[in-house]
Amino acid sequence: MANPFPKWANLAPVKILICLTLIAGTVVAGVTYYATPKYLRVGYQPVQPVAFDHNLHVSQLGMDCRYCHTYVDRSEHSNVPAASTCMNCHNQVLANDAKLAPIRESYESGEPVPWVKIHNTPDYVYFNHSAHVNRGVSCVECHGQVNEMETVYHAKSLSMAFCLECHRNPENFIRPIDKVYDLTWKPENRQAQLEMGEKFVHDWNVTPPQSCSGCHR
């Protein structure tokens, strides 16, 4: 009886096995890369090369967010301050503190301090900081009460559902422009927030994108 299968069929199991291995490897690599603390895990709190206490600097000393994050209202990125910004104060305050040695070394060498990035959007997501803070969205809406954190951690999920909740109902999150960097500010009550938010949405023509292309560019 003649063999009903062509010769190339002998290699089919091997080819199928190779394809399945590649597919499985791709899925594992994708999940490993994107399902990591820097994207998804609420509570992610890495150890930084220098312990920077936001509670001390913001709540106790009253420093404005923009003193360190100078481009947050002018750029899509919220920059991490250079060592020269830190040295504006620390050339006198705690000038010889051992804990600040990496700052002094960075200032002298010009090499940036190797900060560990905590909040990071995937490559396929576009987020513009200035577009948000200039329309009344405070830092706390995405980053939590940073002003109370001795060590910054990932406080909100930053998932697509998290973003869409605000984009679909911006009146629930918008505040007066002069209160964006006042991280302790709260509306009088829920009704006051809605009335104020609805007014700002109307007056400022706030229309956050809800289609895929609005954020996935």
Q: Are residues 140 and 168 in the same domain?
A: yes
Final residue belonging to a domain, choices 71, 90, 114: 114
Does residue 39 lie within any of the structural domains?
A: no
- Alpha-helical regions (H) of the chain: 12-34, 54, 65-68, 83-90, 101-109, 129-133, 139-143, 160-168, 190-203, 212-215
CA dihedral 179, 195, 142, 210 (to 10 degrees): -130
What is the per-residue pLDDT for 20? Answer: 85
Q: Are residues 175 and 87 in the same domain?
A: no
Does residue 5 lie within any of the structural domains?
A: no
Q: What is the mean pLDDT of each run of 10 residues along the chain (217 residues)?
A: 66 81 85 62 92 96 95 93 96 95 96 92 90 96 96 92 95 97 95 96 95 89
Q: Are residues 109 and 199 in the same domain?
A: no
Q: Are residues 92 and 187 in the same domain?
A: no
Q: Are residues 166 and 76 in the same domain?
A: yes
Does residue 109 lie within any of the structural domains?
A: yes
The boundaries of the domain holding residue 185 are 54-80+116-215
Q: Are residues 97 and 136 in the same domain?
A: no
Q: Are residues 90 and 74 in the same domain?
A: no
What is the per-residue pLDDT for 143? Answer: 96
What is the per-residue pLDDT for 172? Answer: 97
Specify whether the CB–CB gap between 44 and 38 falls below 8 A. yes
- As a whole number of Å, the end-to-end CA separation of the chain is 59
Determine the Cα–Cα distance for residues 151 and 41; give it in Å rounded to an integer.
16
Q: Are residues 171 and 102 in the same domain?
A: no
Does residue 138 lie within any of the structural domains?
A: yes
Does residue 6 lie within any of the structural domains?
A: no
Q: Are residues 69 and 94 in the same domain?
A: no
Does residue 24 lie within any of the structural domains?
A: no
What is the per-residue pLDDT for 210? Answer: 93
Instruction: Please state the pTM of the whole predicted model.
Output: 0.78
Provide the domain count of the chain: 2
What is the per-residue pLDDT for 113? Answer: 95
Q: Are residues 109 and 124 in the same domain?
A: no
Does residue 167 lie within any of the structural domains?
A: yes
What is the per-residue pLDDT for 39? Answer: 58
pLDDT digits 0-9 by tens, 80-120: 999 999 999 999 999 999 999 999 999 999 999 999 999 88
Determine the Cα–Cα distance for residues 108 and 176; give it in Å rounded to an integer.
41
